[in-house]
Amino acid sequence: MASFDKLQIDIMSGEGSKPKATKDDAYAYLRDVKDRFDGKKYNEFFKVMNDYKSQSIDRKGCIKRVEKLLKGHKDLISGFNVFLPKSLELDD
C-alpha cells in the first residue's frame, strides 16, 4: 500500500487549518474503501490515487474522480474529506 502515501498526508495539503491526517489514517481509510467496494471499483479508486501520486492528474481531477466513485457513500465521502482542506471538501 505504499503507493497510497500521496493521499495520506498531503493529497490536498496547504489550504485550511485542519490537523493533518496520518499514514495510519490513510491505511485505515483505504481498508474501508476496499471493504465497501468490489475489486473493480476499489481498483479504480486506487488507480485515481496512483494517478495523482504520479502527477498524471492534478488535485482537482483527483477530487472530481473520487467524488464520482464515492457518490452515495456518505461515510466514505466524510472519510475522504479528512485528507482535504476545508475549501475542497466534498459534499455528502
Q: Which domain holds residue 31?
A: 2-9+22-84
pLDDT of residue 15: 56
In whole angstroms, what separates CA 31 from the centre of its chain? 12
What does pTM read for this prediction? 0.78
Q: Which of 65, 69, 62, 49 is nearest to 7 (CA)?
A: 49
Higher pLDDT, 43 or 87: 43
Number of domains forming the structure of the chain: 1
Q: What confidence score (pLDDT) does residue 92 get? A: 76
In a domain, 40, yes or no: yes
Q: Is there a domain that residue 15 lies in?
A: no
pLDDT digits (tens, 9 = 90+) for 5-23: 545 445 555 555 567 788 8
Q: CB neighbours of 3 closer than 8 A, spacing ≥ 6? A: 46, 49, 50, 53
CATH number for the domain that contains residue 66: 1.20.1160.11
Q: For residue 9, what is the DSSP state? A: T
- Write the pLDDT tens digit of every residue in 21-59: 888 888 999 999 999 998 999 999 999 999 998 999 998
Q: Give which of 15, 12, 1, 2 is closest to 52, Cα–Cα.
A: 12
